[in-house]
Amino acid sequence: MKTCFLLGASGGIGQAIAKKLAQSGYSLILHYQTNQYAIEQLCKSLPEGSVLQTVQCDLRNEPSINEMVEGIEFPVDTLVFASGTSLVKLFQDVTSKEMDDLLSIHIKSPWLISQRLLPHMIKQKQGHIVIISSIWGEVGASCEVVYSSVKGAQDSFVKALAKEVGPSGVHVNGIRPGFIQTDMNAQFSSEDLAEIKEEIPVGRLGKPQDVADAVEFLVGAGSSYIQGQMLNVNGAWNG
């Protein structure tokens, strides 16, 4: 049985990943931070028996993370981090609390959770870790300086951990989505969206399904020689 622990399953990208992996025969452990209703609706849409467990956890809180991991009832061989929150404001207006929150959600929680779940993968000589980063982790974004910074750190985490655990049969890779139509981008007007679409060479906005397809590839047998890579899923848009 292939078991995936999916962090951030209640978001648009997380839901698409859950549906894709369930279709591919994965059993799922689904995490959410606050949106229990979204998780309940997602579970109803998935094949019967595919969801092993749902867990709630505030990824800003280390004791909460420890409690969640201790409550995982099944061995995990695939770990996908799709959780995250953006922050759009001038850098000089960002508070220390906001900095700490983004650091915890995007960097420290993947560190802590991976650290706890890696021993099983290493013992089994197989496993996958996939981080959903962002185009801004590579090119940076004005008014998203802190978000861009933590996404860049995620990219480095992928590259470094892949070298460390590759000899043990564990694959670590990441995905940098471009503009994906999710609630995180709900603040954009129809005019804004039309302008962005004009800038994207493939001529359309990204869909959560585009990211889910990439995740399915990275955790599948066809990517066995891909390690420590950040896959850009952006329609050749550079922000």
Report d(CA 32, CA 160) in Å as an integer.
27
Q: What is the predicted pLDDT for the residue at 29?
A: 98
Q: What is the predicted pLDDT for the residue at 239?
A: 80
Query: Model-level pTM?
Result: 0.95
Report d(CA 104, CA 14) in Å as an integer.
19
Lowest mean pLDDT segment, chosen from 14-23, 90-99, 158-167, 187-196:
187-196
- Name which of 39, 62, 65, 86 is nearest 183 in CA terms: 86
Give yes or no for a contact between 205 and 197, defined as CB atoms under 8 angstroms apart. Answer: yes
Q: What is the predicted pLDDT for the residue at 34?
A: 94
Q: Show the 3-state SS of 93-145.
A: HCCHHHHHHHHHHHHHHHHHHHHHHHHHHHHHCCEEEEEECCCHHHHCCCCCH
Q: What is the predicted pLDDT for the residue at 44?
A: 97
The CA–CA distances, whole Å, from 199 to 14, 122, 132, 143, 203 equal 26, 43, 23, 19, 8
What pLDDT digit, counting tens, does each position of 67-85 carry? 999 999 999 999 999 999 9
Q: How many CA atoms lie less than 13 Å away from 193 in the CB half-sphere?
A: 12
- Name which of 12, 6, 11 is nearest 28 in CA terms: 6
Choice among 32, 37, 147, 225 that is catalytic: 147
* Structural domains for the chain: 3-233 (3.40.50.720)
* Rounded average pLDDT over 215-237: 97
What pLDDT digit, counting tens, does each position of 204-219 carry? 999 999 999 999 999 9
Strand partners, 141: none
What pLDDT digit, counting tens, does each position of 184-200 carry? 777 788 899 999 999 99
Lowest mean pLDDT segment, chosen from 43-47, 50-54, 192-196, 205-209:
192-196
Q: For residue 167, what pLDDT band results from cuts at 50, 70 and 90? A: very high
* Rounded average pLDDT over 221-227: 97
Active site residue 147: yes
